[in-house]
Structure 1
Amino acid sequence: MMSQQTIQEGKTWAIVSYFTFIGLIIAIVMNIEKKNPFTSFHIRQMLGLILMLIVSNVTEAYVNSWLGTVLWIITFVCWIFGLYHAIKEEAKPIPVIGAKFQDWFRNL
């Protein structure tokens, strides 16, 4: 469990990581030196969301536009979920796949 101080120190960059790819890059750069666990958690979640977005876009373009749209909506709902929990100062993974994102990107 993370201390409240750790969460407070990392909250701003955790929230910034959810605002576009540029926000994610900024959060990664700002977190390189300190390696705040709360910020790192949310950076890993957003990286996973970007992967989900890429999958939804590729699906929409090359497989089925309806399926791609459904995947995009799921990705958007997951993005809201992640941002909401960053604001609430919680390290709660995105349902179903969030724990995998933590595992896949554990080196960040």
Structure 2
Amino acid sequence: MDQNTIEEGKTLSLVAYLTLFGTLIAFFINKDKRNPFTSFHVRQGLGLGILYMIIAYVVSSLDSMMASMSFWIFFSILFFYGLFGAITGKMNKIPLIGDFFQKLFKSIGQ
């Protein structure tokens, strides 16, 4: 992927990690341009957002401060990892689950 494509997609790639609304905004704006860098980060952001909601539902039912704090720290690190990749212009997959997100949402951006 050339540097021009990365630079054009950086802004929307950053937006993709800002809640699920940001992911949807990045998805719909990227729908016309089809920037592969943005599509990659939209898939990662969408996967993280959905996984966050599912695990948050389970953790909230535990009513444990330790479980809640561990959950917040874990997802904060994952979101910042993806966000840092978008800022630096790299297509870093989220550790352990990034490949799954790319396969699950492969129709996004193609």
TM-score normalised by the chain length of structure 1: 0.89
Residues 20-29 or 54-63, more deviating: 54-63
- The residue number in structure 1 matching 2:74 is 74
Give the AA of the match of 1:43: V
How many residues were matched structurally? 107
- Segments of 5+ residues of structure 2 without an aligned counterpart are none
1:71 is displaced (CA, Å) by 2.9
Residues 12-21 or 84-93, more deviating: 12-21
User: Which 4+ runs in 1 deviate beyond 3 A?
Assistant: 63-69
In structure 2, relative to structure 1, the CA distance for the partners of 1:73 and 1:55 (3 Å cut) is: farther
User: Is the Cα contact below 8 Å between 1:14 and 1:86 reproduced in 2?
Assistant: yes
Q: Equivalent residues in 2 for 1:89-108 (5 A)? A: 89-108=89-108
- The residue number in structure 1 matching 2:10 is 11
Q: Looking at both structures, which has the greater relative contact order when contacts are Cα pairs under 8 Å and sequence separation is at least 6?
A: 2
Q: Distance in 1 between matches of 2:92 and 2:59?
A: 29
Q: Distance in 2 between matches of 1:59 and 1:68?
A: 10
Which digits, 9 at most, give the CA deviation of each residue in 1:16-73, with x for residues without a partner? 1111222111101110011110000000010111122112211212346343542332
SS of the aligned residue for 1:107 comes to coil
Computed over aligned residues only, the root mean square deviation of the Cα atoms, in angstroms, reads 1.5
- Segments of 5+ residues of structure 1 without an aligned counterpart are none
